[in-house]
Structure 1
Amino acid sequence: MKTRNLAFIAVSIATLIYGLNYTIAKDVMPTYVKPFAFILLRVSGATIVFWIASLFVKSEKIDKSDFKKIFIASFFGIALNMLAFFKGLSLTTPISASVMMVTSPIMVLIFSSILIKKGIEKQKILGVFIGLIGAILLIIYGSSSNNASTNSNWGNFLVFINAASYGLYLVLAKNLIAKYHPITFIKWLYLFGLILVIPFGFNELQEIEWQKIPENIYWSIGFVVVFTTCITYLFNLYGLSKLKPTTVGVFIYLQPVIATMYALFMGSDSLNLVKISSTLLIFLGVYLVTKRTKK
């Protein structure tokens, strides 16, 4: 029970960081760093960090048959996931992007059912849809911003692709995490991811005018590389090793809540009854999905 609680705490911290990331990353893109260049920086930094970290853990050999599985997990969990998310975020608003991410638990349920023949309890289905209703209410009626972009629909679609990709990654990574040490798994995951994103981000990386970037933007870039990339993936991997993919995926529901709260703290949004009601619905959804059911 204690280990399960630690897993919940780890996933909650990762979710908090993700919630802050929407606004922080949006401040950087596309004015100072274009989306694909940002992803290349993010994945490069994380790859270096995890390979250095691997020097301090016991060496572990990867089965040849698992390299293909890790590569596929990297495609969905690193390359497609991150490229689609940052490109989408650069076109839409942070709150819109955070709410689109709540479709991820739905995808986890679908992929778990298809790939690992996972049964779905009625309580968890109810929790998923209650949380989804709360998130939809939050974005449709809870935003006080009326800014619109001709590319916002495309941006939202890309964030949906990211959410589906992340949901599939959670399912694919479950067995691999149970088999290998988290650092061993994640260093290969990011190395393959780096190979996949280099063709997309190399040209944009060369366009960055480093001397014109303000100091606070450098801090924002550092936050995304260290916290949003390294810390969140480690914490989510730990949570995934102790919890079901569906349970980890449903914490996505908290992201629009955190994104909204951060906007309130920064004075860029206001609170109303719809936002409070949406938040309660989202937390109820998380509770129903994470609560253990009697068999």
Structure 2
Amino acid sequence: MNKIKPHLALLACNCIWAMDFPFYNLLLSHYIRPLALAEASLIATALISLVPLLWERAERIDRADIRKFLGAAMLMGVLRKVFLMYGLSETSPIDGSIIDTIVPILVLLLSVLLGLDRFTKLKVAGLLLGTGGAVAVVATGHASAHYHAQLWGNVLIFLCACVSSVYMVCFKKLVGKYRVTTVMRWLYCLAAIMLLPFSVGQLVHTDFGAMLRHALMPTLCVFLLQTYLPNILFNYSLRFVSSTVSSIYTYLQPVVAIAASVALRLDKLHFDTVVFALLIFLGVGMVLRSYAKQPSRPEEPAVKLH
């Protein structure tokens, strides 16, 4: 059962993350600006992260790790949120969710560049195929059929995927060193403070009352559920499984996001989107098959940031 728990956590957190795309898109379209939504969700997550202090003592952080937490907060807290919010305000939920599935391939590429993994013919073929599918989704954002999507929005979602990949590879060792609640507390409290000077203008002009009156469920989900719960599940699982395996679960997100977006009438499913998604899935399948063909070995520690 202990071996299954991290995988159940990954399954749950990616299903929750998939709802980012339709819910954030709904709020950004009618009620709130991107920076304000990013900051509001960070503040809510930071406040929730303080709750465990009611029953557990604060964990002491090594002074050398404070700088690493600042880097993690900048990546996973600030940059990922900002890229995601501005990206979703200018693209469709379906295109955004499919572009985000490039994460496993980016994790593999980064791991190879840092000497934590190695290329094989099957991995290279899968890498090229998956990347081609993701680039195609990005490029078709300006097509007339994708009337909700724009090229710049797709590029920002791609940058969001890049940020997530760097975090998964470079901060795995840091995540494994401390309690998950400690990681969440430091990461999101720092991120909320970092972004506040840039977002306060949009934040004070947001009508949160209108959001609660007309979009209660998406608002509550975004502020109380979408950030803290999936991230604590994700960081828990990252302690026990490899970065590559963790990233593979990203491919659940388009399935959930597409179903939710179509059900909420926020988007339509296009034939070319299905084709490009299949290319990405095929590429990842080839990468996974390459791991099955090689003898397993313990994963090397993530790169130490200086």
8 Å contact from structure 2 (residues 92, 267) kept in 1: no
Name 1:31's counterpart in structure 2: 30
2:257 match: 259
> 1:228 maps to which residue?
226
Shift of 1:192: 1.3
2:93, 2:261 within 8 Å by CA — same for their partners in 1?
no
Partner of 1:75: 74
Change (3 A) 1:85 1:277: closer
The AA in structure 2 aligned to 1:109 is L
Q: Are 1:245 and 2:243 counterparts? A: yes
Separation in 2 of the partners of 1:120 and 1:5? 28
Task: Specify every segment of 5 or more residues in structure 2 that has no aligned partner in the other structure, as ranges.
Answer: 297-306
Q: Relative to structure 1, is the Cα distance of residues 125 and 3 closer, same or farther in structure 2, using a 3 angstrom cutoff?
A: farther
Number of positions where the alignment pairs a residue of Structure 1 with one of Structure 2: 291
The 1-side partners of 2:150 and 2:269 are apart by 24
Higher fraction of helix: 1
Q: Which residue of 1 aligns with 2:304?
A: none
Structure-2 change in CA distance of 1:127 and 1:10 (3 Å): farther
Match of 1:158 in 2: 156
1:109 equivalenced with 2:108 (yes/no): yes
- Does the CA-based 8 Å contact 2:94-2:267 persist in structure 1? no
Q: CA deviation at 1:56?
A: 2.3
In the alignment, which residue of structure 2 is the partner of 1:171? 169
Distance change (3 Å), C-alpha of 1:227 and 1:133: farther
Give the Cα separation in 1 of the matches to 2:251 and 2:14: 9
- Cα distance change on mapping 1:266 and 1:219 into 2, 3 Å: closer
Letter matched to residue 193 of structure 2: I
SS at match of 2:31: coil
Deviation at 1:207, TM superposition (A): 0.9
Q: What one-letter code is carried by the residue in structure 2 that aligns with 1:26?
A: N
Unaligned 5+ runs, structure 1: none
Find the aligned partners of 1:269 and 1:191 in 2 and give their Cα distance. 34
Matched residue, 1:148? 147
Q: Classify 1:177/1:217 alpha carbon distance in 2 versus 1 (closer, same or farther; 3 Å).
A: same
Residue 99 of structure 2 aligns to which amino acid in structure 1? M
Shift in CA distance, 281/146, structure 1 to aligned 2, threshold 3 Å: closer
Q: CA deviation at 1:269?
A: 6.0
Letter in 2 for 1:217: A
User: CA RMSD of the aligned region, Å?
Assistant: 3.0
Name the counterpart of 2:295: 294
> How far off its partner does 1:3 sit?
2.8
Kindly state the Cα deviation for residue 131 of structure 1 after the two structures are TM-superposed.
5.3
CA distance 1:137–1:5, change in 2 (3 Å):
farther
Kept after mapping to 2: 8 A contact 1:253/1:282: no
Check whether the contact 2:93–2:266 (CA below 8 A) recurs between aligned residues. Answer: no
Other-structure match for 1:43: 42
Describe the SS at the equivalent of 1:118: coil
TM-score (norm 1): 0.85
1:19–1:98 contact (8 Å) kept in structure 2: yes
What letter matches 1:294 in structure 2? P
Residue 211 and residue 112 in structure 1: after superposition, are their counterparts in 2 closer, same or farther (change >3 A)?
same
1:195 pairs with 181, 193, 204, which one? Answer: 193
Amino acid at match of 2:237: G
Q: What secondary structure is seen at the aligned counterpart in 2 of 1:220?
A: helix
Alignment correspondent of 1:119? 118
Alignment deviations for residues 4-56 of structure 1 (CA, whole Å, 9 cap, x no partner): 32211111111111112201111101421111101111000111111222332
Aligned twin of 1:183: 181
Distance in 1, matches of 2:153 and 2:274, equals 26
Most deviating of 51-60 and 201-210: 51-60
8 Å CA contact retained: 2:139, 2:151 = no
Q: Secondary structure at the match of 2:4?
A: helix
Alignment of 1:81-100 (within 5 A): 81-100=80-99
Alignment check: 8 A CA contact 1:247 1:289 kept:
no
**What SS does structure 1 have at the residue aligned with 2:215?**
helix
TM-score (norm 2): 0.82
Say if 1:229 and 1:125 are closer, same or farther in 2 by CA, change over 3 A: farther
